[in-house]
Structure 1
Amino acid sequence: MKNILIVDDHLQITEVLKEYIIKEGFSPIVAFDGQAALDAFSSHSIELILLDVMLPKLDGFDVCKKIRETSNVPIIMVTAKGEDYHRIMGLDIGADDYIVKPFSPSEVMARVRAILRRIERTDENQQTMKQLTYDNLIVYLEEKKVTIEQQEILLTKRELELLWLLLANREKVFSRDNLLDSLWGIDYFGDARTVDTHIKRLRAKLDEAAHPNWEIATVWGQGYKFEGKNEK
């Protein structure tokens, strides 16, 4: 049974989410503060985290950063802060999705199901395709690793999936909606700006090493593509 970690200091919210998670056939694990969340994550096999931002001891952003140092487990940030910069901050530090309070537990579970289905599809695809290479870029799916000129570039699971999709379909232009459907799922409730944020973060990480012969290109009015210098 898959473990879902709920991190929230409001007992009423955790009880409601626990009930829905159990109905979905998952096993809920609850932490009421940031440090307890890290302890629970280190001592259990966790498939997905529902992570509140406002927490005692360590806030959700700090928890997300610490987990991203060692794991690409899916993280859905849950926050009462609806301002764009809070949502962007969560995505920037590696969260896969966000939900703003007050929320519908049914919506939360729809997003959980969508992310877990996407992971299952990705894992199935990885059974037949293990590695992609272009110029000085190598993407190793089994190892969840990316290198440029043998320098490892640390990406989150979502960033690696985004790079893989673009590289595997080199020169194909993906609209924001295409990318949302392919990586977030057709029942994703967020908006297209999520794609822009992930593209920006992916580019910044890839730019840690020189890659003059290729780029993640913006095709104005259409979307994004992996573009090779000799294929323009």
Structure 2
Amino acid sequence: MRGRILVVDDDAAIREVVRLNLEAEGYDVTSAENVERARTAFSAEHFEMAILDVMLPDGDGFELARALRENSDLPIMMLSARDTDVDKAVGLGVGADDYLTKPFSPLELVARVKAHLRRYAASAPARAHEGLIHVGPVSVDVARRTVLVRGAEVELTATEFDILRMLAEQPGRVYTKAQIYEHVWGEEAFGDLSTVQVHVRRLRTKIEEHPDEPTLVTTVWGIGYRLEEGR
């Protein structure tokens, strides 16, 4: 999957059109029909982007955008039949990155989504430097030394955190046990490096849904470990 996107709209037909077009491009889409379900989904998963209707049955899409922005730097696109400059200014003012007026072209929506996600991916090194790293369902707050997995905080030891941070800073890259040992322990690696394997195993018990069949921190046999992208 190329990224996980939250789509919030009370119109089932619009949700379906958006979902089908985004999934055709390889995106993983979670749909919600109101603010309550959107908040539940957002707290349970990590998303790379949110597409929000302005008029929702149990709340205001603008306020939902404001709430999401307080907890994430993901791109936010507003959808609305209201096309006045005032509405657009309000949407952008609460933290949205884009405003698309209904009815819209699915091709235009997909093109805008791709553009936002390209910029979001390109800014990942800067965000990591600022102290926040997002990789799939894993969020690492470097400054606070905290980790969220699928929206839930996970308690890690200092060593487990340092290993995960190292892997998260370059997702998809394979690190050898020696590289991990030298980076985390600050000593030259030699001899038996099974201590790295033990800590990785413990880390998996805390962040993986099925530690014996890991999908986040995976083993590249004969080489080392990597944190998978977009799992």
**Aligned counterpart, 1:38:** 39
1:23-55 Cα distance to aligned partner (Å, 9 max, x none): 110111000011111111111111101100010
1:8-23 maps to which residues of 2 (within 5 A)?
8-23=9-24
Report the Cα distance in structure 1 between the residues aligned to 2:97 and 2:127, rounded to whole angstroms. 20
**Aligned counterpart, 1:168:** none
4+ residue runs over 3 A deviation: 124-127
Report the Cα distance in structure 1 between the residues aligned to 2:59 and 2:74, rounded to whole angstroms. 19
1:69-218 maps to which residues of 2 (within 5 A)?
69-124=70-125, 130=129, 141-143=130-132
- How does the TM-score come out when normalised to structure 1? 0.54
Highest CA radius of gyration, 1 or 2? 2
Report the Cα distance in structure 1 between the residues aligned to 2:80 and 2:110, rounded to whole angstroms. 16
Contact 2:74 2:120 in 1 (8 A): no
1:2-22 Cα distance to aligned partner (Å, 9 max, x none): 211110011111111111111
Instruction: Sort the Cα spacing of 1:87 and 1:24 in 2 relative to 1 into closer, same or farther, 3 A.
Output: same
Report the Cα distance in structure 2 between the residues aligned to 1:16 and 1:42, rounded to whole angstroms. 25
- How does the TM-score come out when normalised to structure 2? 0.54
Report the Cα distance in structure 1 between the residues aligned to 2:15 and 2:24, rounded to whole angstroms. 14
SS in 2 for 1:38: helix
Report the Cα distance in structure 2 between the residues aligned to 1:64 and 1:32, rounded to whole angstroms. 15
Contact 2:63 2:94 in 1 (8 A): no
SS in 1 for 2:59: coil
Deviation at 1:126, TM superposition (A): 6.2
Counterpart of 1:142, as a letter, is: G
Deviation at 1:125, TM superposition (A): 5.8
Where structure 1 has 5 or more consecutive residues not aligned to the other structure, the ranges are: 131-140, 145-232
SS in 2 for 1:69: helix
Instruction: Sort the Cα spacing of 1:25 and 1:82 in 2 relative to 1 into closer, same or farther, 3 A.
Output: same
Where structure 2 has 5 or more consecutive residues not aligned to the other structure, the ranges are: 134-231
Deviation at 1:69, TM superposition (A): 2.0
Deviation at 1:121, TM superposition (A): 1.6
